[in-house]
């Protein structure tokens, strides 16, 4: 008995050790802050919050000595032994349910590593502001008959509404079902004969949804090339294989119809499809075609209000919509039953984010497709060299669509050599191009003119002393915009009133040189006064819905000649266009960018493809000072592969993408010396880290092509190497622990598409 009592006493005495062991264990949340602290932090989860703290939700946590509460993303939760140093506790939970799925958390972590960005930056980027800020989604009350006695006999319209209100419905639904007006329904509600029975989210009325429906008939049969491409996609879809299939088809070869039927197949499986397009101007036309085939389509692009984007996001996440169409960020749409991803015009540089995190939508789409086991379809008449190389290596599947559908032929291309005296004229339009415009208008056709420079004159100069009007904040000449003789900097947007006389030598009459879209429009109006003319560039397309209105007017033949920048160059299908004119094919050919030739060939090829899509046929006139350049020759002969064959060996020899990786670092400061010194310091660290690895090249530092922008001096440097992962690791090691001076800022851009 005594022994038993001793044992029990020992057991009871050991109790505090159990309590102590339990106190050393707890629930720990790993969180990532949107800004400030780069690495994830651990916080203790109080028992009162244990049920609501989970990955994907945002939490409030104390930070710093002052313990100021900050919003953070919870990325992991674990139960285990607590560290020796005490942890601060989570202060609260912000979201009622997770905003990010485990798969999306995994994706954002990969993106942060792939593009050397902070994880918090990526998390903020993938969630629309309307979702993060919980922008209020508008709701409508549900009304039902209250059963109260009417003070007087109802009118026939009121009687119909009361008879129909046996189940909760919105005022709009009751009015539509009974033929009564909204005023009748509201009157009954005010009288107490209808009572509220909850609320429902209002259906989103987007600009796309309110556009008149277009007729887009399904073709009786596909071409052999289309059938083969669609068969490859269907095979991947049926087998749940994550294959990347590239549709390399000439303009007008029917790539969109292949997309449409592939999406039909996806929807038939009960799955959802995401379709990315590069330009906001393409969204309305693409949405029209998909709405004509599928009815309800979700639209995601930058011109939506936060509330509209939030509403679309909820529709997609609920699974109530099967087709998502949008620009770059639509790749993050929360489709719970994803079955297909399509990227149209995949070569476009707009698929690369210009600000942190500097991701590329094509690479993100490939990651998602592999993770979900779904096919990724890339389409273009001019695939990027990175895409072409992966097809040539057998990693991706290429399906060629070499001919236009419907029997139409690719337009003949006339190259005008601007070096020849007979090709010049007083304006930007050569005699050959002017004759072509007259030919198209007389034949009942339309004309598209491409000039990738907006404004009236590209620079303003004094004829006496040579003084050029320049931006006070940037190393750029001011572009003249009319009316008002405004000098606008296309780097920072600064607007200045240009003087009538030279500010240096007081000579009268500054010379307006160079031509922008505004001046071209004026010249065309003078030469063809009978034609209806419109201009499409960022200056004229600022208003909400302006893209849609202009393109609709052009489709409806209300516009004869459309003048524009590159936004008119791709993806648009107008059968009445008989002539396309490229005013200056060399505009971007000689920029300090290894992709300049590729971009020029793509742009000229794409805009040439807008011509000759209908029964009227078509022609293309390309004005250039370098007609023998491989990019111009290939575009003029509709032979993009010829350009690829000439360019890939150059890229391979220099270890440029697709045969190598590039990391660009840009340093900027209001103090030129500070920018120069810091760029040199970073280069020294990179060179020390790269010692012994001859395949790694460190170039620079040097002034950036635009040496001053927004009153900041800019220096840049580049690191080249054959292996992207190894190159990023080297840059990470070299830049780890750097203490950046207060007056210096710098960014890292992995595989940049803009080198200016």
Kindly report, residue by residue over 293-328, the tens digit of the pLDDT: 888 899 887 777 788 888 888 889 888 899 999 999
**pLDDT per residue as tens digits for the range 388-402:** 999 999 999 999 999
- Residue 492 resides in a domain: no
- The pTM assigned to this predicted structure is 0.84
Same domain, 71 and 179: no
556 and 606 fall within a common domain: yes
Query: CATH number of the domain that 711 lies in?
Result: 3.30.70.600
| Lowest model confidence (mean pLDDT) among 12-21, 139-148, 518-527 | 12-21
pLDDT per residue over 631-648, tens digit each? 999 999 999 999 999 999
Indicate whether 469 belongs to any domain. no
Which pLDDT value is given to residue 215?
A: 53
- Whether the pLDDT of residue 7 is over 60: the answer is no
Examine residue 187 and state whether it is found in any structural domain, yes or no: yes
pLDDT digits over 434-451, tens only? 999 999 999 999 999 999
- Listed as own residue / partner, the contacts of 86-90 with beta carbons closer than 8 Å and 24 or more positions apart are 87/28, 87/42, 87/43, 87/44, 88/43, 88/44, 88/61, 88/62, 89/43, 89/44, 89/45, 89/46, 89/62, 90/29, 90/31, 90/43, 90/44, 90/45, 90/46, 90/49, 90/53, 90/59, 90/60, 90/61
User: Does 744 share its domain with 728?
Assistant: yes
Average pLDDT for 494-515 = 85
Check which CATH number belongs to the domain holding 317 and give it.
Answer: 3.40.50.300
Tell me whether residue 188 is in a domain: yes
Number of domains in the chain: 5
- Please indicate, yes or no, if residue 642 is contained in any of the structural domains: yes
Same domain, 527 and 596: yes
Q: List the structure tokens of 139.
A: 């709701």
Model confidence band, residue 83 (pLDDT cutoffs 50, 70, 90): confident
Give the Cβ contact number of residue 743 at 10 Å: 11
Please indicate, yes or no, whether residues 685 and 746 belong to a single structural domain of this protein: yes
Q: Is 491 helix (H, G, I), strand (E, B) or coil?
A: coil
Coil vs helix vs strand at 459: strand
Confidence of residue 209 (pLDDT cuts 50, 70, 90): very low
In a domain, 60, yes or no: yes
Q: Report how far apart, in Å, the C-alpha atoms of 404 and of each of 224, 351, 407, 630 are.
A: 12, 26, 6, 24
Query: In terms of domains, do 424 and 540 share one?
Result: yes
In the listed set 617, 632, 651, which residue is the last one of a domain according to the structure?
A: 651
**Higher-pLDDT residue of 447, 491:** 447
Q: Note the residue count of the chain.
A: 756
Distance CA 700, CA 717 (A): 5
Which of 632, 651, 670 finishes a domain?
A: 651
- Beta strand pairing status for 323-326 and 272-276? parallel
Q: Is 497 inside a domain boundary? A: no
Which residue carries 């209000």 as its tokens?
Answer: 305
Rounded to whole angstroms, how far apart are CA atoms 702 and 725?
25
Structural domain including 342 reads: 224-406
């Amino acid at each position: 008995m005594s022994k038993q009592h001793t044992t029990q006493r020992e057991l009871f005495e050991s109790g505090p050790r159990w309590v102590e062991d339990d106190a050393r264990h707890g629930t720990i949340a790993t969180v990532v802050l949107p800004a400030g602290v780069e690495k994830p932090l651990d916080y203790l989860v109080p028992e009162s919050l244990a049920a609501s703290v989970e990955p994907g939700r945002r939490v409030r946590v104390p930070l710093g000595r002052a313990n100021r509460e900050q919003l953070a993303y919870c990325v992991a939760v674990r139960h285990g032994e607590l560290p020796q140093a005490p942890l601060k506790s989570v202060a609260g939970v912000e979201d009622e349910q997770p905003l990010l799925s485990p798969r999306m958390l995994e994706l954002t972590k990969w993106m942060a590593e792939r593009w050397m960005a902070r994880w918090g930056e990526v998390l903020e980027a993938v969630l629309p502001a309307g979702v993060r800020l919980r922008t209020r989604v508008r709701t409508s009350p549900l009304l039902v008959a209250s059963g109260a006695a009417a003070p007087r006999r109802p009118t026939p319209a009121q009687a119909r509404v009361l008879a129909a209100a046996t189940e909760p419905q919105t005022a709009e639904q009751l009015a539509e079902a009974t033929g009564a007006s909204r005023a009748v329904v509201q009157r009954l509600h005010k009288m107490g004969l209808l009572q509220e029975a909850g609320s429902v989210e209002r259906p989103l009325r987007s600009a796309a949804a309110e556009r008149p429906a277009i007729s887009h008939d399904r073709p009786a049969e596909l071409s052999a090339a289309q059938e083969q491409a669609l068969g490859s996609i269907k095979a991947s879809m049926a087998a749940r294989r994550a294959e990347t299939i590239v549709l390399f088809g000439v303009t007008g070869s029917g790539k969109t119809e292949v997309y449409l039927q592939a999406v039909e197949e996806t929807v038939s499986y009960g799955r959802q499809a995401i379709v990315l397009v590069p330009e906001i101007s393409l969204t309305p036309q693409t949405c029209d075609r998909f709405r004509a085939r599928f009815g309800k389509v979700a639209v995601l692009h930058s011109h939506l209000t936060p509330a509209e984007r939030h509403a679309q996001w909820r529709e997609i996440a609920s699974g109530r919509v099967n087709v998502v169409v949008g620009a770059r960020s639509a790749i993050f749409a929360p489709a719970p039953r994803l079955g297909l991803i399509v990227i149209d015009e995949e070569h476009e540089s707009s698929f690369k984010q210009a600000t942190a995190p500097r991701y590329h939508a094509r690479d993100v789409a490939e990651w998602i497709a592999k993770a979900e086991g779904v096919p990724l379809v890339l389409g273009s008449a001019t695939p990027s060299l990175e895409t072409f190389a992966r097809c040539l290596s057998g990693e991706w599947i290429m399906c060629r669509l070499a001919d236009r559908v419907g029997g139409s032929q690719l337009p003949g291309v006339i190259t005008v050599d601007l070096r020849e005296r007979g090709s010049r004229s007083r304006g930007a339009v050569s005699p050959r191009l002017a004759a072509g415009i007259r030919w198209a208008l007389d034949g009942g056709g339309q004309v598209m003119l491409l000039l990738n420079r907006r404004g009236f004159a590209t620079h303003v100069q004094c004829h006496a002393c040579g003084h050029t009007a320049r931006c006070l904040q940037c190393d750029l000449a001011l572009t003249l915009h009319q009316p008002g003789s405004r000098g606008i900097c296309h780097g920072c947007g600064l607007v200045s009133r240009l003087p009538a006389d030279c500010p240096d030598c007081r000579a009268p009459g500054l010379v307006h040189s160079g031509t922008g879209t505004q001046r071209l429009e004026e010249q065309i109006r003078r030469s063809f006064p009978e034609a209806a003319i419109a201009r499409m560039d960022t200056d004229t397309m600022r208003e909400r819905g302006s893209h849609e209105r202009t393109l609709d007017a052009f489709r409806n033949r209300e516009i004869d000649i459309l003048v524009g920048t590159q936004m008119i160059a791709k993806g648009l299908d107008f059968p009445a266009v008989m002539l396309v004119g490229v005013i200056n094919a060399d505009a971007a050919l000689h920029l300090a960018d290894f992709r300049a030739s590729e971009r020029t060939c793509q742009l000229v090829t794409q805009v040439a493809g807008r011509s000759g899509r209908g029964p009227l046929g078509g022609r293309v006139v390309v004005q250039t000072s370098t007609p023998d350049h491989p990019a111009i020759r290939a575009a003029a002969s509709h032979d993009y592969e010829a350009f690829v064959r000439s360019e890939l060996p150059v890229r391979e020899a220099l270890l440029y993408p697709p045969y190598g990786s590039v990391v660009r670092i840009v340093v900027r400061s209001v103090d030129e010396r500070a920018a120069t010194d810091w760029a040199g310091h970073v280069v020294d660290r990179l060179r020390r880290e790269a010692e012994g690895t001859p395949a790694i090249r460190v170039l620079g530092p040097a002034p950036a092509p635009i040496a001053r922008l927004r009153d900041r001096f800019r220096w840049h440097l580049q690191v080249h190497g054959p292996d992207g992962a190894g190159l990023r690791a080297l840059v990470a090691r070299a830049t780890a622990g750097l203490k950046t001076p207060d007056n210096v800022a710098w960014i890292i851009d992995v595989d940049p598409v803009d080198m200016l």
